A and B are shown apart, each in its own frame.
Chain A
Amino acid sequence: MTQRSWLTSSRSAAVLLPVVGLIGAIALWWLAVRAFDIEPFLLPTPGAVLGRFLEQPGFLLEQTGVSFVETITGFGLAIVVGVPIALLIVRSVILERLVYPLLLAVNAIPKIAIAPLLVVWWGFGIGPKILMVLLVCFFPIVISTAQGMKSTPAELVELLRSLKASRRQEFFKLRLTYALPQVFTGLKVAISLAVIGSVISEFSGATAGLGFVISTSGASADTALAFAAIGLLSLMSIVLFYGLVLLEHLLLPWAQETG
């Protein structure tokens, strides 16, 4: 009984349990490779993957940095472009009807299909990678921001009207702040997509980045290297996600309770 309540309620258990889960999964992976005698080029052991990382840590971290910069830049641009579009859509019904189907259409395109086109249009530099990230994560940001802007409770709008607030005051003091928790929901969805976007773009026409490492390691059957790169990718994704969660906690302490 005491054991159970410790596992569900204590803070150290909240940190410890995921670690136990992770170690368990890695142990199972290792056991499976050993027990079924799987060829290393099909599935390397966890030790081999770690060893492969330690062979070229500088190189792999540099590639992580490349992917990180592409992801963050594209994500930042998606915010810069997406939030104003959402604000415009919310303000004008005409604009919403005009632009919304286009946004849906762009979002419906499988992005991997246009990766080679971006290379044709824009060459091998970082430009097409950033554009790809932007395309992938822009939509959830627009949608959640627009939804957030529409979610202002009627009574608060009426309150501001009764106080003779200007439209500007109503926008900044009420609607925008009220939308922020939903904006963050969109950002959290978008950041994971941003990482995927950067990898997709590095599959074609790239000379650096973790996606590039994965595609070249496939060609030389260096599976351990691919696994090392994948591990770094998911680590990056997790760090970015929890960075956003932390930022939300710091910026919007009121949002945890009011939803």
Chain B
Amino acid sequence: MIRLDGVGQVFEGRGGQVRALEEIDLHVQANEFVTVIGRSGCGKSTLLRLIAGLLPPTYGGVVVAGDPVTGPRRDVSFMFQRPALLPWRSVVSNVMLPVEISGGDSERTKAQYRDRAHELLELVGLKGFERRLPHELSGGMQQRVSLCRSLIRSPKVMLMDEPFSALDALTRTELSAELQRIQMELATTIVFVTHSIEEAVVLSDRVVVLTPRPGRLREIVDIDIPRPRSLAQNAHLTEVAQISGHLHGLLSEHGRPVDDAEPAPEASR
């Protein structure tokens, strides 16, 4: 579904060139859940923006669903670290924004999309909040709206840039359980960026570990734990501990501990 061949990204900074990514080769299968993990500044977000077509790669090629990526595509959705809702739009019309932007739909299709929006909101537990404005919702609820918005056009690929990192631990657990359920139900391909080992282990089929400055592939770790998995309780604690330990080792070079709690987004733009 997604293929990166020898992709590299160089930014022209004030102090000269910054090599953000180097020699990235990656294949993501259809319906696969791949997590990209790395320390701050390893180019995780840049990688996601390259796949999204928000940023052209300096060299190498990105292919999504058989076509070279030249710009944003309608069947690829992007979810941000912050909810990014339009404050004057109600919950349901925020969810409908992508449909409205692409336009050209008949009234019947639009009505179908509207039904779909209500279904999605119900799926994430926001039934009864459709007419509310974003500021009336909690951070977790806002991020759920954002999730519905990225699902509205049933995308082939969902790109998620640390979408749960600004939430409290409990909401995070709930949302990652919901995301697994949704992915199993809708069969979408997901590339998920995070700096949390826990999140990576619970959510993904494969974890891509990047090394920082410049971002290079360190290792790709398969996770063969049966689903559904949970951040809260887990029947496969030994496997989880093993994989977590391994990832921890990969991330901490020269015995440096991982900055797991670091909330700052990377300076990749």
Contact = CB atoms under 8 A, between A and B. Distances in A.
Interface of A: 153, 155-156, 158-165, 169, 173-174, 177, 252-255, 257-258
Contacts of B88: 177, 252, 254-255
Nearest to A155: B84
B135 A163 contact: no
28 contacts: A155-B81, A155-B82, A155-B84, A156-B84, A156-B86, A158-B80, A159-B80, A159-B84, A162-B54, A163-B102, A164-B102, A165-B101, A173-B86, A173-B97, A173-B100, A173-B101, A174-B86, A253-B133, A254-B87, A254-B88, A254-B134, A254-B135, A255-B87, A255-B88, A257-B87, A257-B135, A257-B136, A258-B87
Contacts of A164: 71-74, 101-102
Nearest to A170: B101
B98 interface: yes
B52 interface: yes
B101 A155 contact: no
B78 interface: yes
A155 B72 contact: no
A258 B135 contact: yes
A177 B82 CA distance: 20
B135 A162 contact: no
Chain A binding surface, main DSSP class: helix
Interface residues of B, number: 24
B77 interface: yes
Contact of A162 (B72, B87, B100, B102): B72
Contacts of A162: 52, 54, 72, 77-78
B76 to A, nearest CB: 8
A160 B135 contact: no
A158 to B, nearest CB: 7
Contacts of B135: 254, 257-258
B72 to A, nearest CB: 5
Contacts of B78: 158-159, 162
B54 A163 contact: no
A248 to B, nearest CB: 13
Nearest 3 pairs of A and B residues by beta carbon:
A257-B135, A162-B78, A258-B87
Interface in B74-108: 74, 77-78, 80-82, 84, 86-88, 97-98, 100-102
A173 B86 CA distance: 9
Task: Give the one of B52, B78, B88 with max A CB within 10 A.
Answer: B88
Nearest to B269: A154
A126 to B, nearest CB: 38
A222 B162 CA distance: 73
Contacts of B97: 163, 173
Contacts of B98: 163
Contacts of B134: 254, 258
A156 B89 CA distance: 13
B164 to A, nearest CB: 16
A236 to B, nearest CB: 31
A174 B89 CA distance: 11
Given A169-B101, A253-B133, A161 B87 contact: no
Contacts of A161: 54, 72
A257 B88 CA distance: 11
B101 A160 contact: yes
Contacts of A177: 86, 88
A159 B79 CA distance: 8
A159 B194 CA distance: 19
Contacts of A169: 101
Nearest to A251: B88
A258 B100 CA distance: 24
A177 to B, nearest CB: 6
A160 B84 CA distance: 10
Nearest to A177: B88
A162 B52 CA distance: 7
A160 B80 CA distance: 12
A163 B80 CA distance: 13
Contacts of B72: 161-164
A254 B133 contact: yes
Interface in B103-130: none
Task: Give the one of A153, A164, A255 with max B CB within 10 A.
Answer: A164
A159 B102 CA distance: 13
Contacts of B84: 153, 155-156, 158-159
Contacts of A163: 72, 97-98, 101-102
Nearest to B146: A159
A90 to B, nearest CB: 19
